[in-house]
A = this chain, B = another copy of it.
Amino acid sequence: MPVNLSVPDPAALLPVRGVRLGAAAAGIRKPGRKDLLLVSLVEGSSVAGVFTQNRFCAAPVTVAKSHLATGAVRALVVNTGCANAGTGEQGLAAAKRICEVAAGLLGCRSEQVLPFSTGVIMEPLPVDRIADALPACAASLADANWLNAAEAIMTTDTVPKAISRRVEIAGRPVTVSGIAKGSGMIRPDMATMLAFVATDAPVEPALLQSMAAYAAERSFNCVTVDGDTSTNDSFILLATGRAELPKIVNSDAPEFKVLLSAVTAVCTWLAQALVRDGEGATKFISVSVEGGMNEAECRKVAYAIAQSPLVKTAFFASDPNLGRILAAIGYARIVDLDVAKVDLYLDSLLVATRGARAPSYREEDGQRIMKQAEINVRVVLNRGAASSAVWTCDLSHEYVSINADYRS
Contacts and interface: CB of A to CB of B under 8 A. Distances in A.
Interface string A321-362: 111101111111010010110000000000010111100000
Q: Please indicate which of the listed interface residues A56, A332, A397 has the most CB atoms of chain B within 10 Å of its own CB.
A: A56
A339 B91 contact: no
A83 to B, nearest CB: 7
A132 interface: no
Chain B CB count within 10 A is highest, among A327, A352, A408, for A327
A32 to B, nearest CB: 23
A317 B400 CA distance: 9
Given A309-B228, A400-B400, A121 B86 contact: no
A314 interface: yes
B86 A56 contact: no
Nearest to A320: B407
A332 B309 CA distance: 19
A231 B319 contact: no
Contacts of A326: 56, 85-86, 121-122, 231
Contacts of A317: 403-405, 408
Contact of A404 (B87, B314, B401): B314
A404 B316 contact: yes
Nearest to A334: B55
A319 B228 contact: no
A202 B307 CA distance: 44
A189 interface: yes
Given A86-B355, A401-B397, A329 B56 contact: yes
Nearest to A85: B323
Most central of A83, A91, A189, A321 by chain B CB within 10 Å: A321
Contacts of A331: 53-56, 187, 189, 228-229
A395 to B, nearest CB: 6
A352 to B, nearest CB: 6
Contacts of A88: 340, 354-357
A310 B403 contact: yes
Contacts of A334: 55
Nearest to A403: B313
A253 to B, nearest CB: 36
A334 B55 CA distance: 8
A407 B351 CA distance: 18
A49 B53 CA distance: 39
Contacts of A229: 327, 330-331
B327 A56 contact: yes
Interface string A130-167: 00000000000000000000000000000000000000
A277 interface: no
Interface string A222-253: 00001111110000000000000000000000
25 contacts: A55-B330, A55-B332, A55-B337, A56-B326, A56-B330, A83-B323, A85-B323, A86-B352, A87-B356, A89-B356, A120-B321, A121-B327, A122-B322, A184-B310, A185-B327, A189-B331, A227-B308, A229-B331, A231-B327, A309-B399, A314-B403, A314-B404, A316-B404, A399-B400, A400-B400
